[in-house]
Amino acid sequence: MSAQWQLIIDVARCDNCRNCFLATKDEHIGNDFPGYAAPQPERGHHWVDLRGTERGEWPIVEANFMPVMCNHCERPPCLAAARDGAVRQREDGIVIVDPQRARGQREIVEACPYGALYWNEELQIPQGWIFDAHLLDAGWTKPRIESVCPNEVFRSLKVEPAEMARIAEAEGLEVLQPEWGTRPRLYYKNLHLMERCFAGGTVVAVAEGVEDCVEGAEVVLRKDGEELGRSTTDLFGEFKFDRLEPGSGAYEVEAGHAEAGRAQARFELGQASVYLGVLRLAP
């Protein structure tokens, strides 16, 4: 199989600047690219969008953001739903909704399980992000969204599927909703920041009647008696265990410091990240 375009998106690098969103608007609103895409409406379409989520409880709280767009699936449901060649999949993997042949086919929009396609009411056509195929075909070496991103969130590459599978395994990449079987060509790094939970806490010790944070305490996470991981407290005495599955039940943490002593806590993980409070070491 020939080399195909893939896109890696690092959630940890995204700070919601929305340059990718604005660049796509700038590229397509009022601009017609025959064979690729008709003009995007001024309002209502988010071909490249940002999702955000908050995790944790005070004082350990974080906000994360994730760009989302057409996944250019290897098995695109929109292609299966289209008639008369309205959707085509190029040899380089890019999926194009033909702005002429797709006229009147609203079922193409409805077929996308990711909600990445939009209906242009004025033109009566389905539309979505085209992987900036018109620019790549004109000699660009990467999509515009990658060019405008100040934090290097995006990394496009044109490789054979076997090489992409190797990269995905080596870098711990994931795709959205793999159980749907669409086989997206958009891969996410650090997707746990959006989809999984963490448990954090603060370790302190009392010396001469004064409670102070303990830096360098070792904290162990266990479930059903099995050790799952270790963490070391920072300057503020804080620790965090990440990538926990939501609703995964009962856990135990044990904190220890050679000079200050030990402490234990148990918690139940529901659907959200948790702050375990203060663990006070005792000899």
Q: How would you classify the pairing of strands 249-257 and 218-223? A: antiparallel
What kind of architecture, by CATH, is found in domain 197-280?
Sandwich (2.60)
CB 189 within 8 A of CB 11: yes
**Tell me: the pLDDT tens digits for 61-115?**
999 999 999 999 999 999 999 999 999 999 999 999 999 999 999 999 999 999 9
Longest dimension (CA), the chain: 81
* pLDDT score recorded for residue 141: 97
* pLDDT score recorded for residue 206: 85
Beta carbons within 8 Å of 129's beta carbon, 6+ residues apart: 24, 47, 48, 69, 70, 116
Mean of pLDDT over the chain? 97
Q: Helix, strand, or coil here: 246?
A: coil
The CATH classification number of 4-194 equals 3.30.70.20
Q: Which amino acid is at 129?
A: W
* pLDDT score recorded for residue 93: 97
**Tell me: the pLDDT tens digits for 206-246?**
887 788 999 999 999 999 999 999 999 999 999 999 999 99
What stretches of the chain show up as alpha helix (H) in DSSP?
19-28, 77-81, 107-111, 133-137, 144-148, 161-171, 192-195
The tokens for 167 are 């990269």
Instruction: Judge whether residue 181 has pLDDT over 80.
Output: yes
Instruction: Judge whether residue 17 has pLDDT over 70.
Output: yes
* pLDDT score recorded for residue 202: 98
* pLDDT score recorded for residue 208: 74
Distance CA 76, CA 50 (A): 22
Question: What are the C-alpha distances in Å from 114 to residues 144, 156, 178?
Answer: 22, 20, 11
Positions of E strands within 117-259? 118-120, 125-127, 154-159, 186-189, 197-207, 210-213, 218-223, 226-232, 238-244, 249-257
Distance CA 169, CA 274 (A): 29
Q: Which residue has the tokens 């599927």?
A: 161
CB 209 within 8 A of CB 140: no
Q: Which residue has the tokens 């795709």?
A: 175
Share of the chain above pLDDT 70, in %: 100
* pLDDT score recorded for residue 47: 98
* pLDDT score recorded for residue 283: 83
Share of the chain above pLDDT 90, in %: 96
* pLDDT score recorded for residue 1: 65
**Tell me: the pLDDT tens digits for 159-171?**
999 999 999 999 9
* pLDDT score recorded for residue 61: 96
Q: Which residue has the tokens 């042949």?
A: 101
Question: What are the C-alpha distances in Å from 244 to residues 102, 147, 177, 185, 265?
Answer: 43, 34, 18, 26, 17
The domain limits of the chain are 4-194, 197-280
Q: How many CB atoms lie within 10 A of CB 131?
A: 26
Instruction: Judge whether residue 8 has pLDDT over 90.
Output: yes
Question: What are the C-alpha distances in Å from 46 to residues 40, 82, 95, 205, 223?
Answer: 9, 22, 17, 51, 42
**Tell me: the pLDDT tens digits for 121-138?**
999 999 999 999 999 999
